[in-house]
């Protein structure tokens, strides 16, 4: 996965490549979607599946850790929403607290039973994006505690970039 490697390798240049890649995928799916709306007039909906090109890599994860991953994801979404709430209220200390405890590096050892850790079953590139998310959240907390909203938003973007990077590259079903 080129775009993933460049993302974790050289942050600045890599990001540019990533966004170009993301844009390409987005425009392809938008184009496909637009086309399918024209073609798919019989209401059966069968056209969509065959015309949608899924470029993500399928990663097979056993049922239990797969469940754990999806639960963690819903949790990430809720944490992100809570961070938004505190950012809007300019309460950067609370935003830092939520990010650190809900998404930071301390989460990585959440599961004592290693077989339950989804990271175990991820290809290396995917796992690295996972680490990047946790590092980004930890860094976000550090920056937010210094009290500068603009710098905090830059750190926040690093978090959401990790979400997007993984979602554009991998699926588990």
Contact residues toward ligand HEC (CB under 6 A) are 70, 73-74, 76-77, 80, 126, 129-130, 133, 159, 162-163, 166-167, 170-173
Q: Residues 164, 136: contact at Cβ < 8 Å?
A: no
Based on CB atoms, which residue is closest to ligand HEC, 12 or 74? 74
Based on CB atoms, which residue is closest to ligand HEC, 80 or 96? 80
Q: Give CA–CA dist 30/125, Å, rounded.
A: 27
Q: Give CA–CA dist 32/47, Å, rounded.
A: 10
Based on CB atoms, which residue is closest to ligand HEC, 143 or 159? 159
- Closest approach, Cβ 41 to ligand HEC, in A, equals 29
- Closest approach, Cβ 122 to ligand HEC, in A, equals 7
- Closest approach, Cβ 80 to ligand HEC, in A, equals 5
3-state helix, strand, coil in the chain (%, to 5): 80, 0, 20
Half-sphere exposure of residue 48: CA atoms within 13 angstroms, side-chain side:
9
- Closest approach, Cβ 43 to ligand HEC, in A, equals 26
Q: Give CA–CA dist 79/101, Å, rounded.
A: 9
Written as one string, the DSSP assignment of 105-165 is: GGGGG--SSGGG-GGGGS-HHHHHHHHHHHHHHHHHHHHHHTT-HHHHHHHHHHHHHHHHH
Q: Residues 144, 77: contact at Cβ < 8 Å?
A: no
- Closest approach, Cβ 74 to ligand HEC, in A, equals 5
Based on CB atoms, which residue is closest to ligand HEC, 4 or 92? 4
Based on CB atoms, which residue is closest to ligand HEC, 93 or 160? 160
């Amino acid at each position: 996965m080129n775009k993933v490697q460049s993302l974790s390798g050289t942050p600045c240049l890599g990001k540019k490549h990533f966004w170009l890649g993301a844009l390409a995928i987005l425009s392809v799916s938008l184009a496909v979607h637009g086309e399918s709306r024209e073609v798919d007039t019989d209401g059966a909906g069968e056209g969509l599946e065959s015309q949608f090109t899924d470029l993500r890599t399928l990663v097979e994860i056993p049922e239990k850790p797969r469940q754990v991953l999806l639960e963690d994801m819903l949790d990430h979404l809720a944490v992100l929403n809570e961070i938004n709430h505190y950012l809007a209220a300019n309460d950067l200390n609370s935003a830092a607290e939520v990010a650190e405890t809900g998404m930071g590096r301390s989460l990585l050892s959440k599961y004592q039973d290693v077989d339950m850790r989804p990271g175990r079953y991820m290809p290396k590139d995917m796992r690295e994006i996972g680490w990047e998310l946790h590092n980004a959240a930890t860094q976000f907390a550090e920056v937010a505690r210094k009290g500068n909203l603009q710098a905090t938003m830059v750190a926040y973007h690093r978090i959401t970039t990790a979400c997007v990077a993984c979602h554009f590259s991998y699926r588990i079903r």
